[in-house]
Amino acid sequence: MASSIGSSHVVAGMPCQDSHCHLAMRDSFGRRVVVLVAADGAGTASVAEIGAALACETFAKLVEAYIESGGRLEDINRALMSRWVAGVVFRLSLRAEADGIECHEYACTLLAAIIGESTTAFVQIGDGAIVTSDGEADGWSYVFWPQHGEFANTTNFITSENALQAMEFDAIGHAVEEIALFTDGLENLVLNKAEKTVHAPFFDSMFRSVRASAADGVDAALSQGLEKYLSGPVITERTDDDKTLILATRRPVAAVPRK
């Protein structure tokens, strides 16, 4: 997982306004739960990078508190997810009050997946997307299509008045095999917007290294390599925006052939 600053932000002297977060824990039954979160700060918000970071951290911590208090993934529904989103907004409002500025200056999108051994829950407010695969034969599919407004470069933000109405939620009764979360800086590279499909070759290629990793959790070396790739010419020649990409697999490590 990695976030990379866009060249347009470098030219404008702006920070990277993307952020991401990962937490792993065990529920009361000893089952592993993984929380993946990504956020993209609004370019028009003065401290959007703080908002994105706080949104990711706060959301993940709220889920962690729920699981550690005995909550079950199977019981996560839209009402509970809405309370977590409201909790994130409350955290941003506290920061805004402390800083003496308006809450909308922390505006950001939110993408999250809560993955258990038999259940997966998803939430999205704004653009970017989550894509999943349950195996090579299944291919890749998006969970929610990116939210874009009537005009170019417009979307919904977690601090918007209609955030809870715009929030998309889904829960499925199985653990996904592989999953990727990405912010809108990568949309045009990995989604076919005319046909509303996922560009499978990109993810097939990116997941080869992830599947080969023996790390139990975040692979720091792979994450560093991913950040370099997102900052490299292959990507930056096609997008000048900030970019975040989270890749996760539960496939077993492929056996190395003996000579």
Question: Does residue 217 surpass a pLDDT of 90?
Answer: no
| Position with higher pLDDT, 17 vs 219 | 17
Q: What percent of the chain has pLDDT over 90?
A: 66
Sequence-separated (6 or more) residues with CB below 8 Å from residue 105: 45, 46, 47, 48, 51, 96
Q: Which long-range contacts (CB under 8 A, 24 or more apart) does 59-66 make?
A: 59/21, 59/35, 59/84, 59/85, 59/87, 59/88, 59/110, 59/112, 60/21, 60/22, 60/23, 60/35, 60/112, 61/23, 62/87, 62/88, 63/23, 63/33, 63/35, 63/114, 64/23, 64/25, 64/35
Please return the burial class of 43, using the count of CB atoms within 10 Å of its CB with bins 0-12, 13-18 and 19+.
Answer: middle
Q: How far apart are CA 44 and CA 141, in angstroms?
A: 31
Would you place residue 24 in the very low, low, confident or very high pLDDT band (cuts 50, 70, 90)? very high
Residue 255 has pLDDT above 50, yes or no: no
Determine which of 60-64, 149-153, 230-234 has the lowest per-residue pLDDT on average: 149-153
How many CA atoms, within 13 angstroms, populate the side-chain half-sphere of residue 153?
A: 6
The pLDDT value given to residue 257:
44
Residue 18, pLDDT score: 92
- The dihedrals phi and psi of 117, each to the nearest 5 degrees, come to -80, -20
Domains of the chain: 2-249 (3.60.40.10)
Backbone angles phi, psi at 70, to 5 degrees: 100, 5
For residue 21, count other CB atoms closer than 10 A to its CB.
21
The better pLDDT of the pair 43, 136 is held by 43
Confidence of residue 12 (pLDDT cuts 50, 70, 90): confident
pLDDT of amino acid 151: 63
123 forms beta bridges with 112, 169
Highest mean pLDDT, choosing among 5-14, 113-122, 227-236: 113-122
Residue 175's pLDDT band, with cuts at 50, 70 and 90, is: confident
Q: Pick the range with the lowest mean pLDDT from 104-118, 175-189, 238-252.
A: 238-252
Beta strands in the chain (DSSP E): 2-4, 18-26, 32-40, 110-115, 120-125, 129-133, 141-142, 168-172, 178-182, 191-192, 197-198, 243-249
CA gap 32, 84 in Å, rounded? 20
Mean pLDDT of 237-252: 87
